[in-house]
Amino acid sequence: MDFSGEAEKEFQLILERSENKQGALMMTLHLAQREYGCISPEVEEMIADRLELTLAYVHGVVTFYTFFHTESVGKYLLQFCSTLPCALRGSEELFDHCSKKLGIKAGETTQDGKFTLVKVECLGSCGTSPVVQVNEDYHEEMNIEKLDKLLDSLE
């Protein structure tokens, strides 16, 4: 397993822009998660090899940053912001509704592998709360109706 094609080109750019190999780790992890879906042990081994770091070190960085998942997630990662500004405007009820609708609890994935449901901390869009991030996209000023429409629209 290794980067190839466009990913390899981007990896080379990342190396160019970093002071040293260790400094390339954050952006390399982002690239790898986009390419492979998650940072599995194989991915860690490849990155450790390319950046000349120990496995324990890479794993330590991966597990520190909650953005990186070590196991694969559903096609759509539903991230519900649950910090105070969103909580004040109904994020809790929104989450409960979604949980019931999909039949899964926080951290779980639907049987068909389509949705993974998680609670996250402040997404930095408090003026348009409640906010739900689906994969990379922010969905703002959500309510139950909009949420239902959104879920139905996701293939």
Partner 1 sequence: MEPVLTKNISSTGPVGIDAYNDGKGYEALKKVLDGMSRAEVIDTVKACGLRGRGGAGFSAGMKWSFIPSDYPGPRYLACNADESEPGTFKDRQIIEHDPHMILEGMSVASYAIGAKKAYIYIRGELAYGAKCLRKAVDEAYGKGMLGKNIMGKDFDLDVAIVRGGAAYVCGEETALLSSIEGKRGYPKLRPPFPANPGGGLHAEPTIINNVETLSCVPHIINRGADWFKSIGPEKSPGPKIFGVSGHVKKPGIYELPMGTPLKEIIYDHAGGMMRDDKKLKAVIPGGSSCPVLTAEEAESVNMDFDSLAEIGSMLGSGGVIVMDETVCMVDALYNLIRFYAHESCGQCTPCREGVAWMKKIIARMVHCEAEEDEIDMLLDIADNIAGNTICPLGDAAVFPVRAFVKKFRSEFEDHTRHKKCRVKS
Partner 2 sequence: MPSFTLNGIEVPFKEGETIIQAADRAGIFIPRFCYHPALEIEGNCRMCLVDIEGGPPKLFSACSTQPKDGWIVHSNNEKVRKARAGILEFILINHPLDCPICDQAGECDLQDYAYLYGLSKSRYKDDKEKKPKHKILGPTIIHDAERCVLCSRCIRFLRDVVGTGELGLFERGAKTYVDIYPGKQIDNPYSGNLVDLCPVGALTSRDFRFKARAWDLDRCESVCPDCSTGCNIYIDSIGKKVYNLQYQVYRIRARANTEVNGYFICDAGRYDYKWLNGDERLWASIVSCGDHRDKIRTAAAIEQVAEALKKVVDQHGPSSVAGIGNARSTNEENLLLKKLIQDHIKSPHLDFVGAHGDVSEMEDNMLVRKDKNPNSKGCQNIGMAPGEEGRDLDGILDDADSGDIKALVVLSVGYKMPEDVRSRIARALEKVEVGVLIDCMDTELAHKADWTLASVAYAETHGTYTNYAGRVQRLQPTMPLGGEARPGWELLRDLLNGMGAVVDYPSAWAVTREMLENCPAYEGLTLQNIGPQGAIKTVGRQEEEKETQEEQSGEKS
* Number of residues engaging partner 2 in binding (CB under 8 A): 10
Q: Which of residues 87-116 bind partner 1 (CB under 8 A)?
A: 87-89
Q: With CB cut-offs between 5 and 8 Å by kind, which of partner 1, partner 2, none does residue 56 bind?
A: partner 2
For CA atoms 45, 49, 50, 52, the dihedral sign is: positive
Long-range contacts for 140-148 (Cβ within 8 Å, ≥24 apart)? 142/94, 143/90, 143/94, 144/93, 144/94, 144/97, 147/94, 147/97, 147/98, 148/101
- Which of 1, 45, 49, 67 binds partner 1 (CB under 8 A)? It is 67
* Helix 25-36 × helix 6-17 angle, to 10°: 170
Asked if residue 82 binds partner 1 (CB under 8 A), the reply is yes
Asked if residue 18 binds partner 1 (CB under 8 A), the reply is yes
Binding site for partner 1 (CB under 8 A): 17-27, 29-30, 51, 60-61, 64-68, 82-85, 87-89, 120-129, 133, 136-138
